[in-house]
Structure 1
Amino acid sequence: MALFILSPILFPLLGLLINALWGRRMSERAIGGVATLAAAAAFVVSMLMLGQLTAAEDARLTATIAPWIAAGALNVSFGFLVDRLSIVIMLIVTGIGTLIHMFSIGYMRGDERFQRYFIYLNLFLASMLTLVMADNFLVMFMGWELVGLCSYLLIGFWFKNLKNAEAGRKAFVVNRIGDVGFVLGILLIFVTFGSLSFADVFGQAEAQGETLAGAIGLITLLLFIGATGKSAQIPLFVWLPDAMAGPTPVSALIHAATMVTAGVYMMTRASALYELAPATQAIVALVGALTAFVAGTSALRQLDIKKVLAYSTVSQLGYMVAACGLGAFIAADFHLLTHAFFKAALFLAAGSVIHGIEHGMHAAHNSAPVDPQDMRYMGGLARKMPVTFAAFLLGGLALAGVPPLSGFFSKDEILLDAFKHNLPAFALLAVSSVVTAFYVGRQLTLVFAGRPRSEAAAHAVESNWLMTMPLIALTIGTVFAGLFNFPGAHPLTDWLAPVVRHGDAPKFDAPLAAVFSALAIGALAIAWFLYRNPDRAQAEAETGMGRLLAKAWCFDDAYRWAIVKPFYIISTVCAQVIDVGVIDAAVNGVGRLFHTLGNSLRSLQTGFVRNYGLVMLIGVVFVVAYFALNAR
């Protein structure tokens, strides 16, 4: 049974091992096939586990592999748990991860590090599954850190370009800042509850909630600091837009199925603690709503096709985090699920567009090279790449919240909860919803409408079947994923109710839904009308407000002036003044002193016997004189 429970993790590790040992002797198709089959096998096993968990509401699969730490009261094992919450995330990770693996075979074709790429991709899946399947906070933290390592390796995958290497380093460092809070939270959990096991901690919290309110409030706040890093919330969201430096399928994997969902999953798993900390929940709701607004408005003035989607991800994560703060944990999970489908479809469609533009540059031999990610050089791709356009269109409409696509149902659920319980958060989320529809319309118009604005776009072609088949599958999920928690039936709420704290079952508020649907469609139409003239995007980028939004409200600049530059100044002072001027000067001064003394004493060594005899004679005279004087 333990082997069966662990198999979703073991299959990607097996694929990794095969490609690491024998990949140099295998073709690209074989390497990609092994990695993709490993991910698919993990998905199949997860489906089998889903079947077992339907037997009873309290059904759960557990496995303790081996003891890990036994020191005094601290006793932690490598324990794994599959319940109704973890299986939902496992299916998202393995199912969408498999499609991204398949897409990568076509996208990464000919790359000099093809083998290494798929090794990292399999490791990423295994790491995320470790995080999701953990039955205690320490094993969760192990998966948490492994996911951070994989993001560093894949964001900086094309490390020969310095900007890519810096983006990977930035993601790693920013996440470590959040992880300090997570580690302190785990330590405080052990001090408070004497255990790190989910069952022990949550059981004690329910039994002693009122007496431990202060400690639980601090614990949840520290855990949330960790979530602000992984799930890219203010003030630690700045790494995620730069994560676009990696290959586009990596962006899809990070943004849709793995790393950035970790913080939301962790808070959902710890919902028993957050329900006992209303002050923390208020902070979480406000931070999430503010992140949704800041990132959404930042997407309005981006010119890079992937950066628009990156800021969009930060914004949508803000919705999920705000839902956790509102106590609507199942609504957060529902939006996580639908977002996984439409954001993976959007990123892979963006990768297909980039691939098509790069093909167009090679086909148009005499044309000037263009940035394949800059939307100003696109246009007219709806006719050139119909499958990609259909995937991007439906994914974008779902993101904008247009009915009856999946994003409409999940976003509407969060907005309704915010309207009932937190009006400031509702106001920020409502504005962000309209902004989302506007930047989706802007992007669709600039990329796919009108005529090609470069020779590369004019010669673009549709991607091969290895890339379009995953797009089609994700688009189908984008259309129908709303059924997972359809109002009135709400199967996801019923499924998660035994293991996740939640409020009322989702209800359909027709007036609210009609208002936001009308606003979304209106924003899409206005964007199409405005950006039929592509020069508008360039003109807006050059305005003061345009530059502010393009720089994401200058968060990076603020960090640079408040933290990075002072750090470099302090480092320079330490290196040049203290290290060189004081420490090195002292050490080198001692060396120079003895060098000078050595030079002085060296003059006594002449090599002439008469000199040595004279010195001896002088010495004897002094000795005799000394004893003669003492004898008196």
Structure 2
Amino acid sequence: MNTLFLCLLFPLLGWAILAFSRGRLSEKLSAVIGVGSVGLSALFAFWIIVQFNLNPPQNGVFIQHLWNWVSVADFTPGITLYLDGLSLTLLGVVTGVGFLIHLFASWYMRGENGYSRFFAYTNLFIFSMLLLILGDSLPLLYFGWEGVGLCSYLLIGFYYSERKNGNAAMKAFIVTRIGDVFMAIGLFILFAQLGTLNIQQLLILAPQRFAAGDFWIELACLMLLGGAVGKSAQLPLQTWLADAMAGPTPVSALIHAATMVTAGVYLIARCHGLFSLAPETLELVGIVGAATLVMAGFAALVQTDIKRILAYSTMSQLGYMFLALGVGGWSAAIFHLMTHAFFKALLFLASGSVIIACHHEQNIFKMGGLWKKLPLAYASFIVGGCALAALPLLTAGFYSKDEILWEAFASGHSSLLYAGLLGAFMTSLYSFRLIFIAFHGQAKTDAHAPKGLAHGLPLLTLLVLSTFIGALISPPLAQVLPQSPGQGLQAGKHALEITSGSIALAGIVLAALLFLLRPDLSQKIAQSALGRFLSAWWFAAFGFDWLYDKLLVKPYLFISYGLRADPVNSGIGVIPKLARRLNQAASLSQNGKLRWYAAAMTAGAIALLAVLVLLP
């Protein structure tokens, strides 16, 4: 396990080589460096995972100190890597799924301008995410946190020649920065109250310093939650995620499956000891997750862009993870994070295959009849869609999502359970709406089946992992995360499994009726007065962009317009202007005339005598 640092070093070296080559490398060499660096990282990660399970370190923790970062008085954070069951799980997900996405991208991005630049950005993305999950302190985690934010800006705006792509990148950067400011405030509070930002020391000191529900721990956790909702696109900072589809499709897979959006879930799980002392904030975590998963489910139901449907489904699935965290189902949240990475990466990469095959068409209503022409993409969508819809027994998504619903039931949060069941129905409905419209019915475009190992291998690997085989991977979380409410209980679990499975199947059946057997019926519903209103409202994701535009953007622009002349700078400029005028006035007295000088001296003497006489 002493080779842990190499998992970070290889992507960092890949970024450095590609970035400083300034595009002079060939596509083949750029792909070898970009894909190979992440492949080596994944290889070493796999070896570390094997070692960790065969020869577990003492207390289930391996610490690798590299060097001291800064030293200010008693504050001496180091560059130290911390490996336990939680970070080990994320290490496998980030490097494994990240490698498959890089391999697919080497095929997808072929012929694009900025080929080596793309891999430079994605390599830096992987490095930043690994630093985030392996850092032993919150400052180091925050450094990686900002790194993935920077890389998301660069990758979302990769096609920078189009203004809308730059706007989407800027939107993602600004919205997530709002959350980052909240998170920074949380770090300041924790350091001021506990004197350290080492994560493990915080988990030890916090129960000694705070009682459950104390103001400062609630406030600190609320600020950390602000950072988490920004990065993981939860209400009310969710608006950036759908627009992030402006980037290349492998970027969407990387952001949505293996890296950035899972960072908020990881942060809360890693700081579980702090959130356990803040019950009000922890309750809010579950409410935010439940509200987001329902809202995103309705929004996904009416989208027409294949990638935006998957984007809203990501938002919804992250809501499930937040719901699990909010009810104390820590392990269930991380388990779903892992399985979601498998089937969501599969769906995004398969959508990229469809987009390329259909000549960069993304509107599902302009596709149709693709199941014969694109058998691998179709199989990927069937398996990935079933996993997303949590089809019983056969898919990885069923086992992880059902575990979340069980934790909500066992903890007594019935309202969150009902939201989860409603979300399960909506997920099945919009997932198979996409499949039936895009792959069945009448063909509306010519399509050619993509070929190549770099295209097929990632899809086949993720397809297998999205089945029940992926659910057999058990994250070693017992020594890291506390016991959840549902652990050890069985009464009612099978009934809930049958209920959730039936709901998922009902959503698929309804989707088949509306979008496969009777599409005229769905059109009739959509054209009704209520249908048009709801479709427009849901299509706009409940109007959050409009609301923020009215409340925040427009007032900001108005103030900017009013300050275009910079009145503060103008006010400060009055002082040198006054000095200049006084200097000009004084210069008039220097005219070389003896009579003027004599009169001035006389006037000065008279003024001085008057002052002396008048003063007491």
Give the TM-score normalised by the residue count of structure 1.
0.87
- Counterpart in 1 of 2:481? 500
User: Which residue number corresponds to residue 488 of structure 1?
Assistant: none
Q: Distance in 2 between matches of 1:538 and 1:32?
A: 49
SS of match in other structure, 1:411:
helix
Q: Which residue is 2:526 aligned to?
A: 540
* Residue of structure 1 equivalent to 2:333: 332
Q: CA deviation at 1:71?
A: 2.0
| Aligned alpha-carbon RMSD (Å) | 2.9
Work out which of the residue numbers 462, 483, 486 in structure 2 matches 1:474.
462
SS in structure 2 of the partner of residue 135 of structure 1: coil
Q: Is the 8 A contact 1:285 1:326 kept in 2?
A: yes
d(CA) in 1 for partners of 2:72, 2:598: 74
Matches of residues 293-312 of structure 1 in structure 2 within 5 Å? 293-312=294-313
Query: 1:179 and 1:70, CA in 2 relative to 1: closer, same or farther beyond 3 A?
Result: same
When residues 537 and 616 of structure 1 are mapped into structure 2, their CA distance, relative to the original with a 3 A threshold, is same
Aligned to 1:389: 378
Aligned residue in 2 for 1:185: 186
| Cα deviation digits, residues 458-513 of structure 1 (max 9, x gap) | 2443354322221111111101355336xxxxx43xx2110112314376722222
Residues 1:447 and 2:438 aligned together: yes
How big is each residue's C-alpha offset from its partner over 1:134-181, in whole Å with a ceiling of 9 and x where there is no partner?
001110010011010010110111111111001111111111111111
Find the aligned partners of 1:625 and 1:96 in 2 and give their Cα distance: 92
Q: Residue 443 of structure 2 aligns to which amino acid in structure 1? A: P
Contact 1:232 / 1:239 at 8 angstroms: preserved in 2? yes
d(CA) in 2 for partners of 1:69, 1:27? 40
Counterpart CA distance in 2 for 1:587 and 1:46 is 64
For the residue of structure 1 that corresponds to 2:466, the secondary structure is helix
**Residue 345 of structure 1 contacts residue 395 of structure 1 at CA under 8 Å; is this kept in 2?**
yes
CA distance in 2, matches of 1:386, 1:547: 33
Between 1:73-82 and 1:471-480, the stretch displaced more is 73-82
Contact 1:306 1:373 in 2 (8 A): yes
* Structure 2: gaps of 5 or more residues: 607-616
Q: Give yes or no for the alignment of 1:342 onto 2:340.
A: no
1:424: Cα distance to partner? 1.3
**Structure 1 residue 11 and structure 2 residue 10: aligned?**
yes
Residues 19-39 of structure 1 show CA distances to partners (whole Å, capped at 9, x for unaligned) of: 234474432122112211111
DSSP-derived class of the 1:69 partner: coil
**2:409 corresponds to 1:423:** no
> Is 1:549 matched up with 2:533?
no
- What's 1:52 paired with? 51
Query: Does 2:383 correspond to 1:401?
Result: no
The one-letter code sitting in structure 2 at the alignment partner of 1:390 is A
Answering whether residue 227 of structure 2 is matched by residue 226 of structure 1, we say yes
* Residue in 1 that maps onto 2:202: 201
Deviations 1:516-575 (A, max 9, x none): 222212211221221236675698388111000000000111111111111111111122
Q: Counterparts of 1:621 and 1:505 in 2: how far apart (Å)?
A: 103
Q: Would you say the 8 A contact 1:301–1:537 is kept in 2? A: no
Closer, same or farther: CA 201–579 of 1 in aligned 2, 3 Å = closer
Partner secondary structure for residue 59 of structure 2: coil
Residues 108 and 507 of structure 1: is their aligned pair in 2 closer, same or farther, counting only changes over 3 Å? Answer: farther
Match of 2:471 in 1: 483
Give the 3-state SS of the residue equivalent to 1:26 in structure 2.
Answer: coil
Name the stretch that deviates more: 47-56 or 542-551.
Answer: 47-56
Equivalent position SS for 2:234: coil
Does the 8 A contact of 2:245 with 2:308 survive in 1?
yes
Contact 1:338 1:481 in 2 (8 A): no
- Where does residue 614 of structure 2 map in the other structure? none
Residues 69-96 of structure 1, C-alpha deviations (whole Å, 9 max, x = no match): 2223322111111111101101000000
Conserved in 2, the CA contact under 8 Å of 1:205 and 1:212?
no
Shift of 1:427: 1.5
Over the matched positions of the two proteins, sequence identity in percent amounts to 38
C-alpha distance in structure 2 between counterparts of 1:425 and 1:439, whole Å: 21
C-alpha separation in 2, matches of 1:619 and 1:154 = 74
1:235 aligns with 2:236: yes
Q: Secondary structure at the match of 1:381?
A: coil
SS at match of 2:372: helix
Measured after TM superposition, the shift of residue 58 of structure 1 is: 1.8
CA distance in 1, matches of 2:601, 2:185: 77
Tell me if 1:246 matches 2:275. no
CA separation of 1:109/1:591 partners in 2, compared to 1, >3 Å: closer, same or farther? farther
Amino acid at match of 2:101: I
C-alpha contact (below 8 Å) 2:387/2:398 kept by paired residues? yes
Residues 105-114 or 269-278, more deviating: 269-278
Who is 1:32 aligned against? 31
Contact 1:355/1:463 (<8 A) preserved? no
Q: Aligned residue for 2:92?
A: 91
Whole-angstrom distance in 2 between the partners of 1:617 and 1:273: 84
- Within the candidate set 398, 407, 411, 2:401 is matched to 411
| Cα distance, 1:577–1:47 mapped onto 2, change above 3 Å | closer
Q: 1:296 to 1:506 in 2, by over 3 A?
A: farther
**3-state secondary structure, aligned to 2:64:** strand
Give secondary structure in 2 for the equivalent of 1:78.
strand
Contact 2:213/2:277, CA 8 A, preserved across alignment? no
* Matched letter for residue 498 of structure 2: A
1:188, distance to aligned residue in structure 2 (A): 1.5
| Cα distance in structure 1, aligned partners of 2:577 and 2:78 | 55
Structure 2 Cα separation of the partners of residues 244 and 624 of structure 1: 80
Residues 211 and 228 of structure 1: CA distance in aligned 2, closer, same or farther (over 3 Å) = closer
SS of match in other structure, 2:66: strand
Structure 1 residues 622, 29: CA separation in 2 closer, same or farther (over 3 Å shift)?
Answer: closer
Asked if 1:438 corresponds to 2:422, the answer is no
8 Å contact 2:212–2:279 — kept in the other structure? no
Worse-superposed segment, 444-453 or 525-534: 525-534
> What SS is found at the alignment partner of 1:373?
coil
Checking the alignment, whether the CA contact within 8 Å between 1:97 and 1:125 is kept in structure 2 is yes
Match of 2:507 in 1: 523
TM-superposed CA distance for 1:102, in Å, is: 0.6
User: CA 1:544–1:617 in structure 2 vs 1: closer, same or farther (change >3 Å)?
Assistant: same
Q: CA deviation at 1:576?
A: 4.8
Amino acid at match of 2:175: V
Task: Tell me: CA distance 1:337–1:622, structure 2 relative to 1, closer, same or farther (3 Å).
Answer: closer
TM value normalised by structure 2: 0.89
Partner of 2:553: 564
For residue 149 of structure 1, what is the aligned residue in structure 2? Answer: 150
Take 1:619 and 1:308, find their aligned partners in 2: how far apart are those partners?
87
Q: Deviations over 1:421-469 (max 9, x none)?
A: 211111111111101110011111111111112xxx2244335432222
Does the aligned pair in 2 maintain the 1:234–1:291 contact within 8 Å?
yes
The worse-fitting range, judged by mean Cα deviation, of 564-573 and 340-349 is 564-573
What displacement does 1:311 show?
0.6
Instruction: Report the CA distance between 1:583 and its aligned residue.
Output: 4.5
Listed as ranges, the gaps of 5+ residues in structure 1 are 360-371, 486-490, 606-611
Residues 589 and 22 of structure 1: CA distance in aligned 2, closer, same or farther (over 3 Å): closer
User: CA distance change for structure 1 residues 181 and 617 in 2, over 3 Å: closer, same or farther?
Assistant: closer
